[in-house]
Amino acid sequence: MTSMGKLLSRRSLLAAGGVAGGLALTGCSRGPVAAIAGTASNDPVAPYRTPYKLDELVLEGSHEPGTFDEKAVDCPFVFWHEGQFHMLYTGWDGTGYQTGRAVSKDLVNWKRAGIMMARDPDDPVTRYNISCASILRENELYSPGRLLKVDGRYLATWHAYPNPGYEEGAAVIGLAWSDDLVNWERTEPILRPEDGAPWERGGLYKSYITKQGETYFLYYNAKTEGDPWKEQTGVAISRDLKRWSRYSGNPILRNGDEGAPDSWFASDPVVYTHNGEWSMYYFGRAADGKCRELLAIGDSPINFKKVPDIIVDKGRPGSIDEHFAHKPSLVYNDGALYHFYTAVSGTWPNDVRGLTVARSKPW
- Other CB atoms within 10 A of residue 64 CB: 9
Question: What residues form DSSP beta bridges with 324?
Answer: 291, 344
pLDDT at 236: 98
Q: What is the DSSP letter of 262?
A: T
For residue 1, is it within any domain? Answer: no
Q: How many residues does the chain have?
A: 363
For residue 106, is it within any domain? Answer: yes
Domain with residue 157: its CATH number is 2.115.10.20
Which tens digits make up the pLDDT trace of 194-230?
999 999 999 999 999 999 999 999 999 999 999 899 9
39 exposure class (CB count in 10 Å sphere: 0-12, 13-18, 19+): middle
| Measured distance CA(362)–CA(34) in Å, rounded | 8
For residue 4, is it within any domain? Answer: no
pLDDT at 348: 85
Which tens digits make up the pLDDT trace of 227-282?
899 999 999 999 999 999 999 999 999 999 999 999 999 999 999 999 999 999 99
Strands (E), 161-290: 172-178, 185-186, 203-212, 215-223, 231-238, 245-246, 265-274, 277-285
Closest CA to 237 of 251, 219, 222: 219
Whole-angstrom CA distances from 46 to 24, 188, 294, 337 are 25, 41, 14, 11
| Measured distance CA(227)–CA(41) in Å, rounded | 44
- Other CB atoms within 10 A of residue 103 CB: 16
For residue 3, is it within any domain? Answer: no
| Measured distance CA(340)–CA(359) in Å, rounded | 8
b/e map of 105-124 (b: 16 or more CB within 10 Å)? eebeebebeebbbebeeeee
Domain that holds residue 45: 10-359
Q: Mean pLDDT of all residues in the chain?
A: 91
**Total number of domains constituting the chain:** 1
pLDDT at 10: 56
Radius of gyration of the chain (CA): 19
Whole-angstrom CA distances from 2 to 75, 177, 191, 271, 316 are 21, 31, 21, 31, 31
Closest CA to 181 of 82, 93, 104: 82
Closest CA to 145 of 351, 353, 338, 347: 338
Strands (E), 118-161: 131-135, 149-150, 153-160
> What is the block-wise mean pLDDT of the chain (363 residues), using blocks of 10 residues?
38 44 34 38 92 98 97 98 98 97 98 97 97 97 98 98 93 98 97 98 98 98 95 98 98 97 98 97 97 97 97 98 98 98 94 97 97
